[in-house]
Amino acid sequence: MIYDFVVKQKGSDVSLSEFKGKVLLIVNTATRCGFTPQYTGLEALYEKYNEKGFEILDFPCNQFLFQAPGSDEEINEFCSLNYNTKFPRFSKVKVNGKEEEPLFRFLKDNAPENTGKNVKWNFTKFLVDRSGNVVHRFEPTDTPESIEKSIEELL
């Protein structure tokens, strides 16, 4: 179950059970990617729906052409200064391969779309319902605005 996973944030363990009962959008991100401007749309969704039980969990990933360089602190500062993001950002992860974050293996294996396939690029998004079920996988080309209706349906 998704709530069994523990991830890193600022060097500390964070249990995803802290997000139990919320709708989650879990995203692998990068600060130097053509999709980086999606941070604007993600923050707009977060501001609009956070009080209704919506969370965005941001996992920077440097696995695709090294487009998330820098430390976790530098990435966080970049996102705060350039996109005014307020949603939780976690430590940098790998989303594919031998060293992949177990959470992303779970997401890939349990998403109804493209089940088990590797994450293709930065800004792949996984939508999780209030019960912890992975209900959608959205590709990087799916903008935050284009997935808003799917989020609303779960809230």
If one counts every other C-beta atom within 10 angstroms of the C-beta of residue 152, the result is 14
Q: Of the listed 16, 30, 33, 42, which one is catalytic?
A: 33
- Please state, in angstroms and rounded to a whole number, the distance separating the CA atoms of residues 155 and 150: 9
| DSSP secondary structure code for residue 119 in this structure | P
Q: How far is CA 83 from CA 2, 19, 33, 36, 39, in A?
A: 28, 23, 14, 10, 6
* 61 tagged catalytic: no
Positions marked active-site? 33
